[in-house]
Amino acid sequence: MLDYSALRAVAAVVQTGSFDRAARQLGVTSSAVSQRVKQLEERLGVVLIARGSPCTATETGDWLCRHMETVGMLEGELLAHLPALIDPAATRQRVTLHIATNADSLGTWFVAAMSAFARHSPYLLNIAVDDQDHTADWLQRGRVIAAVTSVEKPIQGCRRTSLGALRYVATASPDFIARHFADGVTPEAILDAPALTFNQKDGLQDRWLRQALGVDLGYPTHWLPSTQSFIEASLSGMGWGMNPIQLVRPHLQSGRLVELIPDTALDIPLYWQINRLVADRLAALTREVVVTARHHLSA
């Protein structure tokens, strides 16, 4: 059996960011927290908490915290049936669910789903922006309990639900179009017109060029890792890029943005993958995600 008072101390330090605040949360002295953490670290032979301002979890510490959250979720259920077990000192330790999402979902519809769920649930939510390469690993190892992802492959140990597609349009400002595409969106023009790219994993501009122009080019690009900044940069004539239709529709209607080539939208199907161990218990979460996604995404 694991030493749960030590695990709880680690989780509290990570959650609050300091040994003092963890002590206040747990209703013990700061030196008791420090001792529990240290003994567990010595037993495991690995550092669990990077001491600093704030204190953060090391990778191993992180896994232990996730385990504590799942245990906390199970405890919550047990206590609903056996309220006499409730430790009054522990009532303020709410369970945090870790969920990953791709950045453009977070920038369009995902907050509405999370907010609707949070309103009627005891859980706190920790939303991480999906690093696509890590989604599968994070889900399998319990680092997150669910994810919105463009990864179609069913992830081991997860239930997958299709959410519909996020539609992207290639846009730029009229002024940018006049400067760079006066003679049309040709491969030659693309080689000279700066694009916008979210990050190294953003292949949307490439996919659009293949689909719309049938070319595979090394074009110049600026890099901007923020959904909202991407649109601002498009509006200000810094470059052309693929933007979610939800966010640019008003700008297309007002003429502040123009589609590079009409009717060449790109649909990216999205999926909700949730750990099977908690899927039934969190049916309400899946329901909010699916209802909100289907309202906002293309079928």
The one segment of 12-20, 75-83, 262-270, 287-295 that binds a second copy by CB under 8 A? 12-20
CB distance 238 to 196 below 8 Å: yes
Whole-number Å distance between alpha carbons of 59 and 49:
9
The contact pattern for a second copy, residues 207-236, with x = CB under 8 A and - = no contact, is: ---------xxx-xxxxxxxxxx--xx--x
Torsion of CA 146, 150, 152, 153, to 10 degrees: -60
- Selection from 182, 185, 178, 183 nearest residue 205 by Cα: 185
Cα dist from 196 to 59, 229, 241, whole Å:
33, 10, 5
Stretch that binds a second copy, among 134-142, 182-190, 198-206, 252-260 (CB under 8 A): 198-206
Shortest distance, CB of residue 57 to a second copy, whole angstroms?
8
Q: How many residues bind a second copy (CB under 8 A)?
A: 58
Applying CB under 8 A, among 237, 264, 267, 294 the residue interacting with a second copy is 237
CA angle in degrees (0–180, nearest 5) for 99-105-108: 130
User: Cβ of residue 23: shortest distance to a second copy, in angstroms?
Assistant: 9
Of the two residues 220 and 280, which places its CB atom closer to a second copy in the complex?
A: 220
DSSP calls for 226-288: -HHHHHHHHHTTS-BEEEEHHHHHHHHHHTSSEESSTT--EEEEEEEEEEHHHHTTTHHHHHH
Q: Which of residues 31-60 bind a second copy (CB under 8 A)?
A: 53-54, 56
In the complex, which residues of this chain contact a second copy (CB under 8 A)?
12, 15-17, 20-22, 24-25, 53-54, 56, 92, 94, 96, 103, 106-107, 110-112, 114-116, 118-119, 124-129, 191-192, 194, 200-201, 203, 206, 216-218, 220-229, 232-233, 236-239
